[in-house]
Amino acid sequence: MAKAEEEQRFSEKESPGYSGVKTFMGAESVEPEDLNADVDVAAYGVPFDGAVTNKPGTRYGPDALREKTTRFSRSFTSDTKRYNIAMDQSAAYGELEFRDCGDAPVVPNSTEKTFEQVAGFAETVAEKTMPVMLGGDHYLTYPAFVGYANAVEDDVGLIHLDAHEDIGTSDLYGDHYHGSPMTKIAESEYGGFENHAMVGIRGHSRMEVLEVMEEEGLYIDYAHDVHEQGIEECMQGAIEHATDGVDQVYVTIDIDVVDPSYAPGTGTPAPGGITSTDLLKAADMLGACEKVGALDLVEVLPTEDPASVTSLLGANALSRFFESYFYDDVTES
């Protein structure tokens, strides 16, 4: 074999995660309308943080997450399996078809206009494959959920990992900010609190939020429930609640569900959160739920993320979800 041919063969087989263009899971970039039925997952970023109440900068979250996902994908080629010690299974990501649809268009000074843009973008992706939204602030879950629900034209359950319940309204911030998306989702055509499960909630809320939580009978496992009962029991209850009576479930992960000692790079950190191990186990369990059809990961703030540990944790959680979700297709016992 000629030296040039041998070098080409090696480059196609494996490359280091820090090389090349940083797309989601090292995937090919395509426009949403160009997705086809063979694609398993399509990610899109939403570089918007115009709805935050504390530190801005999550607009840079999508690219930070993209960069970290490449370390999980570049060496997982079609003919190279890697063994995941924590999950006791092997995977070759080259057997899956990932695509990166780039960033949804945003209007930096308008949450309402950004909503319209993101909802339409999400719907186009969801009509073709499983959408994964990379935020951005947590307000973006609202348009991403609506876009997905419009595509499947069905009621959609919601599993929500977060430090905050995000069902507030505010005289200062109005109805469209990163503390209100769950209320907006509940008011949407295909949403509702009856299939909404929250895990990891802690900190402080206004008294009217407590009233809503009691009136709606929300399913909530607080952070202290996770500490006392374990993440597996809490996630099992959340999954059972969110999937009851529906065929579609949306998962949203606000990275601040994790204690800031493990995930400091976020805009509204809250002490007392779940551990990084808890999050990864939750991702495993969510991936085993066949009704999950879309997910997002939001509120990664790279400028407050020493050593990029928060974006790395987020990328790891996404990879764990995929390995669990596509287990039959990509693993061997």
- Mean pLDDT in each 10-residue stretch from start to end of the chain (333 residues)? 53 60 91 95 96 92 95 62 78 84 95 95 98 96 98 97 85 70 91 93 80 82 97 98 97 98 96 98 97 98 96 97 75 39
Look at strands 248-254 and 292-298 and give their pairing. parallel
The total number of residues written for the chain in this structure: 333
Domain range summary for the chain, segments of one domain joined by +: 22-330
H or E element at residue 206 = none
CA distances from 217 to 101, 131, 162, 163, 165 (A): 38, 29, 18, 19, 13
How crowded is residue 10: how many other Cβ atoms within 10 Å of its Cβ? 10
Cα→Cα distances 195→185, 189, 213, Å? 11, 13, 13
Say what the pTM is. 0.91
Q: Quick one: pLDDT at residue 330?
A: 42
Please state whether 156 falls in left (phi above 0), alpha (psi between -120 and 50) or beta. Answer: beta
Cα dihedral 141, 320, 246, 186 in deg (nearest 10): -20
**Per-residue pLDDT at 16:** 63
Domain covering 22-330: architecture: 3-Layer(aba) Sandwich (3.40)
| Phi-psi region at 65: left, alpha or beta (left = phi > 0; alpha = psi -120 to 50) | alpha
How confident is the model at residue 332, as a pLDDT? 43
* The two three-digit tokens of residue 179, written as one number: 């503390």
Residue 310 is predicted with a pLDDT of 98
pLDDT of residue 331: 39
Query: Within the chain, how many helices (H) and strands (E) appear?
Result: 11, 11
